[in-house]
Amino acid sequence: MSNDKPIVAIVGRPNVGKSCLFNRIVGRKAAVVDDMAGVTRDRHYQETSWNGMPFLMADTGGMVPNAKSGMTHEILKQVDRAIQESALLIFLVDGKIGPVDEDLLIARRLLKEAPGRVILAVNKAESETVRNESGAFFSLGFGEPVGVSALHGTNVGNLLDKVQNVIRRSKTGRAPVIPPDAVKIAILGRPNAGKSSLTNKLLRQERMIVDAVPGTTRDSIDSLLMYDGKPVVLIDTAGLRRKSQVHDDVEHYANLRALESIKRADICVLMVDAFAGFGEQELKILTKIYEFHKGAVVCFNKWDLVKKDTKTFYRLIAGLAPKYPEIKYAPCLTISALTGQRVNLVIETAFTVRQHMQTKIPSAELRDSFFQWVKKKPHPFSGSKEVRFLGIKQIPGGLPVFRIFAQNHNLVQKAYERYLINNIYNTWDFTGSPLLLSFRRPAKPE
């Protein structure tokens, strides 16, 4: 077997338990699960393994075979792509209901498009009654089905044994291995800001479903992109909403997935609807990006529709900076994800931010500048106690961390910390990079 991982996709009609089985196989709640039909819309991939064999699991949206338009048609297109790229398909049906017309239509499609690459699994087979009646599914044409319970884990191991045996004989449907040096870029923002449209334009294919309805992306989806020979992982996420606007469990877990995506990323691209503008929700997202110590790029999308002159962008940023100082040191771009206008700048700027995060300042230069700042503006007394600064050093690592030694270091005020951070940004180019200051007491001489 090559270094590529085979893809195993779970397919079936809506609400038969595909995402529940997906989570059971990968060993964690990687996909959003809810009783509401249609929760999974895009293809969702997670790496896993069974008995030492690594493979890539793909969760897909519910197939509605006769869909001609709308969201169900878009989901069907995504499932078709999963069928084409997979080494093996797990066709999941509902054992409690028995075979229905939709199952039969899906079976005909799979027999035609994926002969020899389908395992039929009957879900909700935790009861003896369902197991005894699973023979009714022989009519679908895939031989003896495997009865499983995605909820309880019953017989899932036997299903994976069968998956492993089929994959070993298969030489198709390999997924590329993500290189360890790939830059992971998470695309974040409010619902309907254009996140999936940007991902699609960068990938030059409809890897994500793009729809005008806010909240289309429920899970975080990873896609590998080679840009000028450099590997990039694009993480398309669900739109982050304020807590007061999260009305059901699906949106709650989608918010959690988006926050997890920030943790997994190296750089976060904050998409802003140019018409809606930059507001409190964007500020919270940008603050969260810096809290997780990630690089940031701010993109004002739909710029092609904005009435503007040569100074429109400069007036926009100048108006935001006093109210939202966090945006001051983040690179800001104007793009159109729909037309592709300047979208390549998103990746190039992310690479630049990554370089800024790895900038190392010469020790003497850092020390001299630091003492000029504290001499120009000493830290105010805290009662009768003086905060006296004694030195600074940059800690090696993947982002700029500065250790500052001071007497009464625990009395350093937040405003003074911001003063030092602003001076670092203004002296060296750390645009888009988080800056961390760590205050310590001076080391005692031996």
| pLDDT tens profile 41-61 | 556 788 888 888 889 898 888
User: Which of 160-169, 175-184, 186-195, 221-230 comes out lowest in average pLDDT?
Assistant: 175-184
Q: How confident is the model at residue 350 (pLDDT cuts 50, 70, 90)?
A: very high
pLDDT of 257 strictly over 70 = no
User: How confident is the model over 85-130, as pLDDT tens digits?
Assistant: 888 999 999 998 888 999 999 999 999 888 888 999 999 988 777 7
Average pLDDT over residues 242-257: 51
- Residue 180 backbone class (left: φ over 0; alpha: ψ -120 to 50; beta: rest): alpha
Domains of the chain in start order, with CATH, are: 5-175 (3.40.50.300), 183-357 (3.40.50.300), 363-440 (3.30.300.20)
User: How confident is the model over 368-419, as pLDDT tens digits?
Assistant: 999 999 999 999 988 788 999 999 999 988 889 999 999 999 999 999 999 9
The token pair at 408 is 């009464």
> 206: burial class by Cβ within 10 Å (0-12, 13-18, 19+)?
middle
* pLDDT confidence of residue 69: 67
Percent of all residues in the chain with a pLDDT value above 90, rounded to a whole number = 41
pLDDT of 195 strictly over 80 = yes
Q: How confident is the model at residue 165 (pLDDT cuts 50, 70, 90)?
A: confident
* pLDDT confidence of residue 192: 83
- Give the Cα separation of 416 and 286 in Å (integer): 21
Angle of CA points 283, 348, 201, to nearest 5°: 80
CB atoms within 10 A of CB 111: 14
* pLDDT confidence of residue 38: 47
* pLDDT confidence of residue 44: 78
Average pLDDT over residues 321-337: 91
Tell me the angle at which helices 414-427 and 363-376 cross, rounded to the nearest 10 degrees: 130
* pLDDT confidence of residue 213: 44
